[in-house]
A = this chain, B = another copy of it.
Amino acid sequence: MRRWNGWGDDTIEVALGESALDFLRGQIGAGTAPRDAAFDTLCASLPPGRLPAHPLVDATPPARLMHAAGQSLQDWLRLRYGRIGTAPDAVAFPESGADVRTLLRWAADHDAAVVPYGGGTSVAGHLDAVGARPTLCIDMARMRSLVSIDADAQLAVFEAGVAGPDLEAQLRAHGCTLGHFPQSFDYSTLGGWVVTRSSGQQSLRYGRIEQLFAGGRVETPAGPLAIPTFPASAAGPDLRELVLGSEGRLGILTEATVRISRLPDYEAFHAVFFPDWTAAEQAVRTIVQARLGLSMLRLSNAVETATMLTLAGHGRQVALLEAWLKLRGAGSDKCMLLVGASGEKTQARAALKAALSLARRDGGVHVGRGLGERWKRNRFRNVYLRNSAWAHGYAIDTVETALDWPRVTPAMHAIERAAHDALARDGERVHAYTHLSHLYPQGASVYSTFIWRLAGDYDADLARWRLLKTAVSETIVASGGTISHQHGVGRDHAPWLAHEKGALGMAALRTLFREFDPDGRMNPGKLVTP
């Protein structure tokens, strides 16, 4: 069963071991677990739904509560402390594009706002009901079919509500893969990926969702927008690009054609340790600019490297590894790089060999596949640490941006500094660490994680989160970064969007959305606020 107030499946626990807890206590002090609100109490507290009955619609309190929030820390605070605020008045489960059209008309008839819902994994506040109108949440979970596939042409058409594992399983049956693996893969949906401009962990090979989304169908209040597929086009601005990142503001993507690949016949992830950040950053820049055809590069800074090795919990093995690395020049400032290659075996191995050889020039020490394969095994499980950290009285949140190379390291330092200082008012420390999650020839994404102690009270914890979120977001835009590289804008990042779009760009986006949604009915309050 999906957890209603935390991450993922309630049968999966990823525990924080004693050594990890010791580490956290040392860094930021001992945490105290707050008491969670009960699901039934929250259900009972919901105000009555304001929408009439409809055969496609479920207006029961459990359905409404399960769709009231995503996975942003602000969403968690609302759920955990039972301060849900608003919930949709009803939840619909369409099974076809025709159902979606019916629902959009029904919403218009009742002047309801519409919140499209994919896997519910947004960490930027895309899903809450906002405004005075009643809200209809449209959950796309039942639209998950593979509509058609042409493995020779490497194109597949899916209903947009399909989640990662279901999508990959249906492709695997044809010897194919999409290759899109965000950390939310287990739950997030194709439609969600498209409308939030998602990026998967192996985007270095497969591309971001922008490159994978070839066309599709969007049901908008103004009618359907059908985007045909071409391998490329010079025929004016690309309509796909209006849908990508639209975050539900112009309609609901019901069907998407995606560019698929053959399943790789070889895949490997290797780990390399560098003596320090300067050497590591230099090496990854060299490697990514060499265009070797790798599938992943992921570089942790020294604090993240130390934190990961500690949280892994294999104390004795790690101590041996660290002693060995120290002898080879990678001591306490060491930074871990994961290098992945996927594809045809000869090519993939040649790419790995070339990458490892370039890494060596900057002092990289190759430690083989063990850590890389462990990362791969756990790549969708580490996010469960949010649950166990909460249970010990700690909050975990992340921010991410992307910047041109000259700005990457200064931004990383500035973001961590801003986080460290953000809760000084409360006398609280923030443990902050960072990795470059996606590498590009011209720069990188900077992905920072923050851990701090919960105050045990909704208002106090919301205030702490706001202080921290504001401080790091201001730092991101002041450092020349985008307010999001892969999570989207939603409610939480909206205040900083104008910094990069400019007044004229914001006006253009508003006008554009109004063209498809004249009544401002679609996901109001997200992305572009009035």
Give me the interface of A with B, judged by CB distance under 8 Å.
150, 152-155, 196-199, 208, 210, 214, 220, 222-239, 241-242, 244-247, 259, 261-262, 285, 289-293, 343-344, 346-347, 350, 354, 402-406, 438, 440-445, 480-489, 493, 497, 500-505, 507-509, 511-512, 515-516, 527-528
Q: Which B residues are in CB contact (< 8 Å) with A440?
A: 231-232
Q: Which B residues are in CB contact (< 8 Å) with A198?
A: 234
Q: Is the CB of A235 within 8 A of B293?
A: no
Q: In angstroms, how far is the closest chain B Cβ from the Cβ of A68?
A: 23
Alpha-carbon gap, A228 to B197, bound state (A)? 18
Which A-B residue pairs are the 8 nearest by beta carbons?
Answer: A241-B241, A231-B440, A231-B443, A153-B405, A197-B234, A233-B482, A234-B484, A230-B482
Alpha-carbon gap, A10 to B344, bound state (A)? 50
Q: Is the CB of B344 within 8 A of A290?
A: yes
Q: In angstroms, how far is the closest chain B Cβ from the Cβ of A190?
A: 15
Q: In angstroms, how far is the closest chain B Cβ from the Cβ of A426?
A: 30
Q: Which B residues are in CB contact (< 8 Å) with A222?
A: 504
Q: Is the CB of B292 within 8 A of A153?
A: no
Q: Is the CB of B501 within 8 A of A512?
A: no
Q: Is the CB of A246 within 8 A of B242?
A: no
Q: Is the CB of A242 within 8 A of B231?
A: no
Alpha-carbon gap, A246 to B227, bound state (A)? 18
Q: Is the CB of A262 within 8 A of B289?
A: yes
Q: Show 7 A/B contacts (Cβ-Cβ < 8 Å), sorted by A.
A: A154-B289, A155-B404, A225-B505, A230-B402, A235-B482, A236-B247, A237-B242
Contact pick for A489, options B236, B291, B441, B507, CB 8 Å: B236
Q: Is the CB of B231 within 8 A of A445?
A: yes
Known: A223-B504, A515-B507. A233 touches B197 (CB 8 A): yes
Q: Which B residues are in CB contact (< 8 Å) with A507?
A: 515
Contact pick for A441, options B154, B404, B503, B527, CB 8 Å: B154
Q: Which B residues are in CB contact (< 8 Å) with A214?
A: 442
Q: Which B residues are in CB contact (< 8 Å) with A152?
A: 285, 405-406
Q: In angstroms, how far is the closest chain B Cβ from the Cβ of A160?
A: 17
By beta carbon, the residue of chain B nearest A214 is B442
Contact pick for A504, options B244, B245, B516, CB 8 Å: B516
Alpha-carbon gap, A292 to B348, bound state (A)? 10
New contact pairs (17) apart from A231-B440, A235-B488, A237-B246, CB-CB < 8 Å? A197-B233, A214-B442, A225-B505, A230-B481, A231-B402, A233-B402, A233-B484, A234-B484, A234-B486, A235-B489, A235-B497, A235-B501, A236-B245, A236-B497, A238-B245, A259-B441, A259-B442
Alpha-carbon gap, A434 to B438, bound state (A)? 40
Contact pick for A354, options B226, B234, B347, B442, CB 8 Å: B347
| Centre residue among A197, A246, A481 by max chain B CB count within 10 A | A197
Q: Which B residues are in CB contact (< 8 Å) with A501?
A: 235-236, 239
Q: Is the CB of A231 within 8 A of B344?
A: no
By beta carbon, the residue of chain B nearest A259 is B442
